């Protein structure tokens, strides 16, 4: 590894007596690891790796704090009746003729990307799945327990080295990588999430800098050699609201490249456009990352969540039932069309999003219907001009691959052929148009049933789950939470199924009670007792009824999964 010695220099030289032996991490000055010690975690939390993460934290923490303050200011504006829109101050960026750096050959073809948590068996299955890309997730699909995060880093290191294997003893099956595997992208957490098992200079580390820093430090050299054809590593960046947040990522990338002595522009990232404010910042985000970008992605589930959150104080913009807010709604279609036009104009990929359907094993008819819905969604995406899309499950890949391949004219992508100049005329009104549809008591029940079960899974370390034949993760659960909150706050009338009741605290209390009874029946008494359903119910109910909406479900729930190891490793 070509390493800038000046950077790793002095601090790395200071040794802690007894560090790294007897169950303690060998930490540099100012760093305190409070998570459980394990030998294999210590191979990730090396002193050099922690120096690297601490350097990023020290350089960028004030920028991140400022960006989070700006989010609060924007929220206040929206809560006082303001609407998000295009920023007149950056019109020159939107109108300018600049381009992003050329797409690296290794990832020119991204027609199907599988996503999944950084769990060992799933990583192997995903890399072997036949998809072009695998997005390994520290975010929506992962509950960020210390064990999950550290094991995830161990797994990714083994995957990049090509040595990853997994033995399923019960099924007498050994999992190994095929010769041909998907290209690996890694999605760190969002800017808002702390990593409370690692303290730097007395405050919790910034979660995404831990995810990025540890993965980059350990894997950049091997990745560029074996996967990236000289480029990489590759990333997905979630939940940004403004281009100033993209500028921080760009600066992090440049700093990281410099620190290890690799060319500027080696790291590449796709940004998820999954907040309502960000749809008005797509050019600006690409501009900030223009040396490091490989496109944008329609993170549709968080986008719907963000619509509710942004308009939490706008009772005239209430959503219909969650199941009715699909890509067919005008504001969603406009967002996808504008994203395609923006990306192709700047020479990068416009990625589609996730259909929530997954294979239904025990019901062939329902399975065929679910597959049809996925195919229809993917056909809409490729016809609109998306260069690729997401799959939640390996069983969906052949069908999705076929839809994209049949509609891409033998090209690896549609960047040059689907310019979508027609989307240039889309207006702020198009992007904000209120979704149409009814609200029902069944919508309230489903939100509650799904929300509680998701939180119960998350609290026990599982971040993506199958519920009622759909994939549920942090983003989809957020919709359930904020929709319940919104309906309760405004006492909306649920009249879509002819019942005609108003949502009140009494009604919600009754719904929670009945849905908890239903969950117990469905999962069985034993599992219900052993699981964390009651804790989840308490947490979810509080989040739905709190007078001031929590910014994120997972931020509020995070304290429940932080476990500090009594004999932590500290050099404070």
Ligand X SMILES: CC(=O)SCCNC(=O)CCNC(=O)[C@H](O)C(C)(C)COP(=O)(O)OP(=O)(O)OC[C@H]1O[C@@H](n2cnc3c(N)ncnc32)[C@H](O)[C@@H]1OP(=O)(O)O
Contact residues toward ligand LL5AMS7Z (CB under 6 A) are 140, 272, 274, 299-302, 353-354, 475
Minimum distance, C-beta of residue 294 to ligand X, in the bound complex (Å): 18
d(CA 472, CA 534): 19
Given 24, 120, 187, 439, the catalytic residue = 187
| Closer residue to ligand X, CB minimum distance, 475 or 511 | 475
Q: What's the DSSP call for residue 35?
A: S
Give the interface size with Mg ion as a residue count (CB under 5 A). Answer: 5
Least distance to ligand LL5AMS7Z, CB of residue 504, Å: 30
The listed partner (ligand X, ligand LL5AMS7Z, Mg ion, none) that binds 374, CB under 5 to 8 Å by sort, is none
Instruction: Tell me the C-alpha distance between 502 and 59, whole Å.
Output: 51
Beta-carbon contacts of residue 284 (< 8 Å; ≥ 6 apart): 87, 90, 93, 94, 242, 243, 246
Query: Of these, 195, 257, 283, 302, which contacts Mg ion (CB under 5 A)?
Result: 302
Binding of residue 183 to ligand X (CB under 6 A): no
**What DSSP letter does each residue of 155-170 carry, written as one string?**
HHHHHHHT--EEEETT
Binding mask 336-365 for ligand X (x = CB under 6 A): ------------------x---xx------
Nearer to Mg ion, 28 or 299 (CB): 299
* Residue list 275-314, contact with ligand X (CB under 6 A): 301
Contact pick of 24, 120, 341, 393 for ligand X (by CB under 6 A): 393
The answer to whether 195 contacts ligand X (rule: CB under 6 A) is no
Among residues 158, 211, 302, 473, the one annotated as catalytic is: 473
Site string for Mg ion, 265-294 (x = CB under 5 A): ---------x--------------------
Judged by CB under 6 A, the number of residues near ligand X is 23
Is 187 a catalytic site residue?
A: yes
- 363: its two tokens: 């019901």
**Residue in 501, 4, 441 with CA at minimum distance from that of residue 258:** 4
Q: Does 466 bind ligand X (CB under 6 A)?
A: yes
Tokens of 318: 């209430």
- The pattern of x and - marking residues 68 through 107 that bind Mg ion according to CB under 5 A reads ----------------------------------------
Select the residue interacting with Mg ion from 31, 210, 414, 475 (CB under 5 A). Answer: 475
- What is the spatial distance between Cα 80 and Cα 82, in angstroms, rounded to a whole number? 6
Contact residue for ligand X among 27, 42, 103, 126 (CB under 6 A): 126
Q: How far is the CB of 70 from ligand X (least distance, A)?
A: 24
Residues 471-530 that bind ligand X (CB under 6 A): 471, 473, 475
Q: Does 154 bind ligand X (CB under 6 A)?
A: no
Question: C-beta of 411: minimal distance to ligand X in Å?
Answer: 26
- Under rule CB under 6 A, residue 125 binds ligand X: yes
- Measured from the CB atom, the residue of 297 and 484 that comes closer to Mg ion is 297
Residues 536 and 162: their CA atoms lie apart, in Å, by: 38
Concerning whether 473 is annotated as a catalytic residue, the answer is yes
Please report how many Cα atoms fall inside a 13 Å half-sphere around the Cα of residue 179, on the Cβ side.
0
Q: Residue 465 binds what, of ligand X, Mg ion, ligand LL5AMS7Z, none (CB under 5 to 8 Å, by partner type)? A: ligand X
User: Distance between CA atoms of 150 and 312, rounded to whole angstroms?
Assistant: 36
Task: Tell me the helix, strand and coil percentages in the chain, rounded to 5.
Answer: 50, 15, 35
Of positions 20, 28, 84, 116, contacts ligand X by CB under 6 A: 116
Per the listing, tokens 């909150």 go with: 485
CB of 125 to ligand X, least distance (A): 3
Burial label, 412 (beta-carbon count in 10 A; 0-12, 13-18, 19+)? middle
User: How does DSSP classify residue 242?
Assistant: S
Spatial distance between the Cα atoms of 232 and 230, rounded to a whole number of angstroms: 7
Considering only 57-65, 118-126, 436-444, 519-527, which stretch makes contact with ligand X by CB under 6 A? 118-126
524: Cα separation from own chain's centroid:
31
Q: In the numeric block, which tokens belong to residue 4?
A: 């800038």
Q: What residues pair up with 296 in beta bridges, in sequence order?
A: 271, 350
The entry of ligand LL5AMS7Z, ligand X, Mg ion, none near residue 214 (CB within 5 to 8 angstroms by kind) is none
Binding-site partner at residue 44 among ligand LL5AMS7Z, Mg ion, ligand X, none, CB < 5 to 8 Å by type? none
In whole angstroms, give the CA distance from residue 117 to residue 99.
33
Q: What are phi and psi of 126, to 5 degrees?
A: -70, -45
Tell how strand 569-570 and strand 31-33 pair up: antiparallel
Cis peptide before 233 (omega within 30 of 0): yes
Least gap, CB of 140 to Mg ion (angstroms): 4
SS (H, E, C) 545-558: HCCCCCCCHHHHHH
Q: How many CA atoms lie within 13 A of 524 on its CB side?
A: 3
Q: Any contact of residue 112 with ligand X (CB under 6 A)? A: no
Which option in Mg ion, ligand X, ligand LL5AMS7Z, none does residue 358 bind, with CB closer than 5 to 8 A by kind? ligand X
Q: Which is nearer to Mg ion, 371 or 457 (CB)?
A: 457
Q: CB–CB of 537/528 below 8 Å?
A: no
| Residue 122 touches ligand X, criterion: CB under 6 A | yes
3-state secondary structure at position 263: coil
Closest CA to 240 of 297, 319, 308: 297
Strand partners, 194: 206
* Residue whose structure tokens are 């600049």: 98
Report the partner that residue 121 touches, choosing among Mg ion, ligand LL5AMS7Z, ligand X, none (CB closer than 5 to 8 A by kind): ligand X
Query: Does residue 140 bind Mg ion (CB under 5 A)?
Result: yes
Residue numbers of the site for Mg ion (CB under 5 A)? 140, 274, 299, 302, 475
Would you name the residues annotated as active-site residues? 187, 473
Residue numbers of the site for ligand X (CB under 6 A)? 114-116, 121-122, 125-126, 137, 140-141, 301, 354, 358-359, 392-394, 464-466, 471, 473, 475
């Amino acid at each position: 590894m070509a390493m800038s010695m000046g950077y790793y220099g002095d601090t790395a030289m200071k040794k802690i007596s007894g560090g790294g032996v007897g169950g303690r991490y060998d930490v540099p000055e100012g760093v305190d690891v409070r998570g459980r010690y394990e030998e294999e975690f210590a191979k990730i939390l090396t002193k050099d790796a922690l120096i690297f993460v601490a350097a990023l934290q020290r350089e960028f923490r004030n920028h991140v704090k400022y960006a989070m303050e700006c989010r609060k200011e924007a929220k206040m504006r929206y809560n006082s009746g303001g609407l998000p829109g295009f920023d007149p101050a950056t019109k020159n960026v939107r109108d300018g003729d600049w381009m992003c750096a050329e797409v690296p050959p290794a990832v020119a073809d991204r027609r199907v990307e599988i996503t999944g948590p950084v769990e060992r068996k799933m990583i192997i299955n995903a890399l072997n799945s036949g998809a072009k890309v695998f997005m390994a997730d520290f975010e929506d699909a992962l509950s960020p327990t210390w064990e999950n995060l550290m094991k995830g880093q161990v797994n990714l290191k083994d995957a990049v080295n090509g040595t990853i294997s997994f033995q399923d003893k019960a099924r007498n099956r050994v999992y190994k990588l095929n010769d041909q595997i998907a290209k690996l992208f890694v999605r760190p957490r969002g800017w808002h999430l702390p990593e409370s098992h690692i303290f730097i200079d007395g405050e919790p580390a910034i979660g995404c800098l831990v995810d990025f820093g540890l993965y980059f430090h350990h894997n950049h050299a091997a990745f560029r050699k074996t996967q990236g054809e000289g480029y990489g590593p590759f990333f997905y960046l979630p939940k940004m609201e403004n281009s100033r947040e993209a500028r921080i990522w760009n600066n992090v990338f440049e700093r990281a490249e410099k620190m290890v002595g690799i060319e500027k522009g080696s790291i590449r990232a796709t940004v998820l456009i999954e907040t309502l404010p960000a749809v008005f910042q797509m050019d600006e985000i690409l501009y900030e990352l223009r040396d490091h970008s490989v496109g944008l992605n329609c993170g549709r589930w968080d986008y719907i969540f963000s619509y509710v959150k942004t308009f939490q104080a706008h009772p005239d913009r209430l959503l219909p039932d969650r199941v009715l807010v699909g890509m067919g709604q005008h504001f969603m279609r406009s967002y996808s069309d504008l994203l395609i036009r923006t990306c192709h104009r700047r020479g990068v990929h416009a990625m589609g999003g996730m259909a929530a359907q997954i294979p239904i094993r025990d019901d062939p008819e329902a399975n065929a219907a679910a597959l049809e819905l996925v195919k229809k969604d993917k056909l809409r995406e490729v016809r609109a001009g998306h260069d690729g899309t997401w799959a939640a499950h390996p069983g969906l890949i052949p069908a999705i691959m076929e839809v994209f391949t049949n509609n891409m004219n033998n090209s690896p992508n549609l960047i040059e052929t689907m310019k979508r100049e027609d989307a240039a005329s889309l207006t702020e009104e198009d992007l904000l148009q209120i979704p149409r549809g009814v609200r029902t008591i069944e919508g309230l029940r489903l939100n509650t049933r799904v929300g509680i079960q998701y939180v119960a899974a998350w609290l026990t370390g599982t971040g993506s789950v199958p519920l009622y034949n759909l994939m549920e993760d942090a983003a989809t659960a957020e919709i359930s939470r904020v929709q319940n909150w919104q309906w309760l706050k405004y006492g909306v009338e649920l009249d879509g199924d002819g019942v005609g009741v108003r949502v009140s605290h009494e009604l919600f209390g009754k719904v929670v009670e009945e849905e908890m009874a239903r969950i117990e029946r469905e999962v069985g008494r034993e599992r219900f007792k052993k699981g964390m359903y009651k804790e989840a119910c308490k947490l979810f109910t509080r989040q739905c009824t709190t007078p001031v909406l929590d910014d994120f479900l997972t931020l509020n729930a995070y304290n429940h999964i932080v476990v500090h190891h009594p004999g932590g490793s500290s050099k404070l």
